[in-house]
A and B are shown apart, each in its own frame.
Chain A
Amino acid sequence: AQSVTQPDIHITVSEGASLELRCNYSYGATPYLFWYVQSPGQGLQLLLKYFSGDTLVQGIKGFEAEFKRSQSSFNLRKPSVHWSDAAEYFCAVGGGTSYGKLTFGQGTILTVHP
């Protein structure tokens, strides 16, 4: 069965600091991996996705993520956080097998201090 673990429930960083959100997955085949962001009261917005190829993927809003098969990880990074990045972030795995079920992690809430 596929699963996703986001070890950090809540992270606080200062504006301008770097950010890394962790994601570990379990999947029986080649995974499709996604990061979504949800601002308060809003829906889900896709930040980036990985299907194959280059293991470092670039997304919107200056985010990037690196797929590491040996560690079953897909961590999200940003070199300099902006106050507007405060939101909840979800990692998800799925897509490759029949039905394309998407399984989400529990989410990481990001707080940005001025």
Chain B
Amino acid sequence: DADVTQTPRNRITKTGKRIMLECSQTKGHDRMYWYRQDPGLGLRLIYYSFDVKDINKGEISDGYSVSRQAQAKFSLSLESAIPNQTALYFCATSDCGRLGQGLGCGYTFGSGTRLTVV
């Protein structure tokens, strides 16, 4: 099984619909992130979380919400999807950023969810 699992892999939805993208991990990492990838823009951070009680907006959070249901689960919702939210979405986990951590920290990415809003 993959360390970071995203579901669904592909989704086509209509404008105005609510959609949830799910992410689960077996890495045991505290930190989880949602990114979206657009051609020519790289990956941009939508939301990030330290634990179930700690949710933070990234650089492009408008139109999105998240839920950290457990340490291992971090879901991204589009309350009312619009066409310019068509993108490739990545979930990631990390053990980087801890005080006093060693040099072995890293990031693990899911395989991505390709979302098309029509």
**Which residues on A are within 8 Å of B, measured CB to CB?**
4, 6, 9, 32, 34, 43-44, 46, 49, 51-52, 90, 92, 94-107
Given contacts A49-B106, A104-B42, 6 further A-B contacts (CB under 8 A): A43-B109, A44-B90, A95-B107, A99-B56, A104-B44, A107-B40
Give A46 to B108 CA distance when docked, in angstroms: 9
Contact between B106 and A97, CB atoms less than 8 A apart: no
Q: How far is the CB of B44 from chain A (nearest CB, A)?
A: 7
Nearest Cβ on chain B to A92's Cβ, whole angstroms? 8
Q: Beta-carbon contacts of B86-113 to A below 8 Å, as 1s and 0s? A: 0000101011111000010111011110
Q: State the CA gap A51–B106 with chains docked (Å).
A: 10
Whether A95 lies near B97 (C-beta < 8 A) is yes
B74 interface residue (CB < 8 Å to A): no
Q: Give A100 Cβ to nearest chain B Cβ, in Å.
A: 3
Q: How many positions in chain B have a CB within 8 Å of any CB in the partner chain?
A: 28
A-B contact pairs, 20 of them (CB 8 A): A9-B40, A32-B105, A34-B107, A43-B112, A44-B109, A46-B106, A51-B103, A92-B43, A96-B96, A99-B31, A99-B97, A100-B94, A100-B98, A100-B107, A101-B33, A101-B97, A102-B45, A103-B45, A106-B40, A107-B40
Distance of B31 from chain A, by nearest CB (Å): 5
Interface flag for B64 (CB, 8 Å)? no
When distances are taken between beta carbons in the complex, the residues of chain B under 8 Å from A99 are 31, 48, 50, 56, 97
Contact B48 A101 (CB under 8 A): yes
Pairwise interchain contact A98-B97, C-beta atoms closer than 8 A: yes
Bound together, the chains give a CA A36 to CA B45 distance in angstroms of: 16
Residues of A within 8 A of B70 (CB): none
